[in-house]
Amino acid sequence: MKAIILSLLLVLTAAFAAPSQAHAQEPLRIIIDEGVIEPLPFAVPTFQPETAEAAQLASDLARVVSDDLTGTGLFREIPASAFISTVSDFNAPLQYADWKAINAQALITGAVAVTGDQVTVKFRLYDVFSGAELGNGLQFAGTTDAWRRMAHKVADAVYSRITGEGGYFDSRVVYVSETGPKDDRRKRLAIMDYDGANVQYLTDSAAIVLAPRFSPTGDRVLYTSYESGFPRIYVLDIGSVQRRVLESAEGTMSFAPRFSPSGQTVVFSLTQGGNTDIYTMDIASGASVRLTNTPAIETAPSFSPDGTRIVFESDRSGSQQLYIMPVTGGEAQRISFGEGRYGTPVWSPRGDLVAFTKQNKGRFHIGVMRLDGSEERLLTASFLDEGPTWAPNGRVIMFARETQGAGGSSSLYSVDISGRNLRPVRTPEGASDPSWSPLQQ
């Protein structure tokens, strides 16, 4: 009897042990659905000067690269004073342990050579904890005058490799530069690097100028000027600073222009007989098409990136709201239904969001929403925020913020579309109406 029981037990335990053995060989499985959101620490040792003339540029380039990355709010620079080892040779193997020790998760090394007025910049990006290079090294060449652009391109490449999204550092912003008190404000068009460097003025302040808008290729700017006493739309070539006025009928006011994605067409508002509607115009021929025809005020049109639709603001419902219509006109679909008034919509370069200005209960907000009006997210709040414009990668928005009171002034800010990293953009004078260019070629 005992033998039978024992044999039975042996069989059972063996059968039980077999799956447990298999189980022991299976991997331990865990699921992680929460992490942290914090800037990624990186280190940028001063680039290696490969020629004697490159010493200063090597330092300046590394500084601009670092500023670009830090300015996104997604990265945090580890100061050079914390470095354990230095990079003395661009091609020498890295001492990863030294960079791990200071928790540098990304390391950027570079070398600069200057020959005459030509600059060559090389860089490598390392994933320190993986002990490997992230992507291949790149090299840029240009003139010494354009050294900042080369630094921006290095930063764009680093940003893109780590985040998986396109960069936006090698871009420019055209805006309205403002001086003087509110009741006697003088305005002129200015253009600068995205970070506020290299400011240049495109017009004088003889006439009021408004709402400059970049062309899709970044070589031209549309803007509205009161030069003739009435608002008129002008096209300005940035390279030559030559401009011309777009055709418009006598007794009309045209404003709020924007380029189509093709750059061949302009969409704008035209006021005739007290009624404001939206039109498109072929720049070359001057032929225009009326897209809306209501007694309400329709303005601030903006093309979708694919050029098939237009988002605009209208008070046809009794209050100022956002609508989307086909590029050929026709029935428009209202997309904003929240409390308050919505205006100046701008379609994201990615095509999935619309940025807008919202006024509600005495406060102004910059916000974003999906194309059906869902997931509205207000990014800012102040006395007066307006005029959003998208960074080329669709992740950052720049806008103008005006302070309160007679002595109040307007200045530019940028904010991540998550609402984080709100920070001012330095300009030598007051600034409003920014328009972000595409990435430069």
Partner 1 sequence: MDTGQYISGAGHLILIGWAFLGGVFRSEPPPFEMTEVSVITGAEFDAILAAQVPPDQVTDVAQPQAPEITPDAPEVAAEPDRVIDQPVPSQAEAPPEDSPPEEVPDAPPQPAEVTDAAPTLDDPVGDVAVLAPEVAPEAAPRPIERVAPEPVAQPDPEAAPELDQQQAVAPDEAGETPDEPQDATAPEEATTEIVTEATAAPAASVRPPGRRPAAPEPQVATNEASQDDNAAAIAAAVAAAQAAAEAPGTPAPSGPPLTQGERESLRLAVKECWNVGSMSSEALRTIVVVGVQMNRDGTPIGNTIRLLSSTGGSDAAARQGFETARRAILRCGGKGFDLPDEKYGQWQSIEITFDPRKMQ
Stretch 145-184 residues interacting with partner 1 (CB under 8 A): 162-165
| Residue 67 near partner 1 by CB under 8 A | no
| Residue 354 near partner 1 by CB under 8 A | no
| Residue 360 near partner 1 by CB under 8 A | yes
Q: Could you tell me if 432 and 400 are in contact, meaning their C-beta atoms sit under 8 angstroms apart?
A: yes
Cα separation, 11 vs 14, whole angstroms: 5
Closer of 250 and 372 to partner 1 (Cβ) = 372
Please report, as residue ranges, which positions from 204 to 263 form the binding site for partner 1 (by CB under 8 A): none
Query: How many CA atoms, within 13 angstroms, populate the side-chain half-sphere of residue 74?
Result: 20
Cα separation, 120 vs 154, whole angstroms: 12
From the list 17-25, 206-214, 304-312, 326-334, the region that binds partner 1 by CB under 8 A is 17-25
Specify the DSSP element, H or E, that contains 275.
strand 275-282
Q: Could you tell me if 199 and 189 are in contact, meaning their C-beta atoms sit under 8 angstroms apart?
A: no
Query: Could you tell me whether strands 172-179 and 363-370 are parallel, antiparallel, or unpaired per DSSP bridges?
Result: unpaired
| Residue 56 near partner 1 by CB under 8 A | no
- Min dist. Cβ of residue 140 to partner 1 (A): 23
| Residue 81 near partner 1 by CB under 8 A | no
| Residue 305 near partner 1 by CB under 8 A | no
- Would you give the DSSP letter of residue 382? B
Per CB under 8 A, the list member of 46, 105, 225, 288 interacting with partner 1 is: 105
| Residue 2 near partner 1 by CB under 8 A | yes
Please report, as residue ranges, which positions from 377 to 396 form the binding site for partner 1 (by CB under 8 A): 377-383, 395
Name the residue among 323, 329, 307, 322 with its Cα closest to residue 258: 307
- Min dist. Cβ of residue 244 to partner 1 (A): 31
* Cβ neighbourhood burial of 117 (10 Å; 0-12, 13-18, 19+): exposed
One-letter amino acid for residue 95 of the chain: Q
Ordered DSSP codes for 255-290? EEEEE-TTSSEEEEEEEETTEEEEEEEETTT--EEE
Closer of 170 and 376 to partner 1 (Cβ) = 376
| Residue 130 near partner 1 by CB under 8 A | yes
| Residue 4 near partner 1 by CB under 8 A | no
- Min dist. Cβ of residue 215 to partner 1 (A): 27
| Residue 32 near partner 1 by CB under 8 A | yes
Per CB under 8 A, the list member of 53, 67, 98, 127 interacting with partner 1 is: 127
| Residue 103 near partner 1 by CB under 8 A | yes
From the list 13-21, 86-94, 112-120, 210-218, the region that binds partner 1 by CB under 8 A is 13-21
Query: Could you tell me whether strands 106-115 and 40-43 are parallel, antiparallel, or unpaired per DSSP bridges?
Result: parallel
Which residues, at least 6 apart from 101, have a Cβ–Cβ distance to it below 8 Å? 84
